[in-house]
Amino acid sequence: MICRNLSAHRPPVGGHFCWTAGKFLRAVAPLVFLCIHIKKGVPVNKNKKTVPMIMERKFSSKKIVALTAYDYSFARLLDTSDLDIILVGDSLAMVSLGLETTLPVTMEEMIIHTRAVNRGCHNALLVADMPFMSYQVSDEQAITNAGRFIQEAGAQAVKLEGGARMAGRIQALTNAEIPVMGHIGLTPQSVNKLGGYRVQGKNYKDARKIKQDARKIQEAGVFAIVLEGIPDDLAGEITQDIKVPTIGIGAGVQCDGQILVLHDLLGLGMDSSPKFVKQYACLGDKVKKAVSSYIQEVRDETFPDEEHSYKSKTHNLKSVSDAPQQ
């Protein structure tokens, strides 16, 4: 029986070449199709920053540069630069929505803004902030919400606040193949617990805890850590101690990179800025001046002028309206 089954698959006499060629074509056809598919597929953007690229910068002299963005227009402008990371921060609660803290912003609001930024972000790594109470309850809640940022909004990674107490949560997310950026030191979502936005790690006990937090979340799998509102010497020690990049905001120059809120950098904020903010432009004043000029010209009837008005090429409006009906 076995011999008969084997002989049934033996090529006919004189047809060995055709039989062998047929087997070869069947074997290579999927590979040929794959090569054609890749060649005709969507071109790879060689300028697009990725999580591994950001991690490699730990061992480079080139600093990581990051900014926040909350809408398509600014994201598109930022993406024309050599920016490494665009963060859709929960700071949009205060900057864009006019809220007093970051705590009230919702998942739905963060998803909408991340989608908008994603449409304008083609080169920088896009990271989305997980808002307050979107990850604190359970691993399942965190994975579900982080997954929404990746699937629905187009983010490449998420950021969440917390040190050692969040290590297990971070590990659950990284086990689900979701890249996580950590955030320790001054954590704005803990504003009520901290009693305000105060510099952290100024005494030995607090500094030691922040260093331990950095080690714990590194072990949990973060690809980078935001250090906010801590002394520059402490940030330097942490940067030297861990093997993933540190990104400072109010943490001195020794970090592997820096991040600022875009509106602070551009001078668009209506309130006073923290000490660590450097304004590279005063666009708020320019906006006020431009709007005042517009108001004045409209009321003076100097806008719109000839340059900004349309004219009929063949007939004036009266001749058109008086023309006999056909």
- For the annotated catalytic residues, the residue numbers are 228
CA distance 121 to 214: 29
Amino acid at 227: L
Which of helix, strand or coil describes residue 37?
A: helix
CA distance 200 to 211: 12
49 near 123, Cβ under 8 Å?
yes
Q: What is the Cα 106 distance to its own chain's centre?
A: 17
Residue 56's alpha-carbon distances to 61, 127, 144, 300, in angstroms, are 10, 17, 28, 59
Which of helix, strand or coil describes residue 126?
A: strand
Amino acid at 311: K
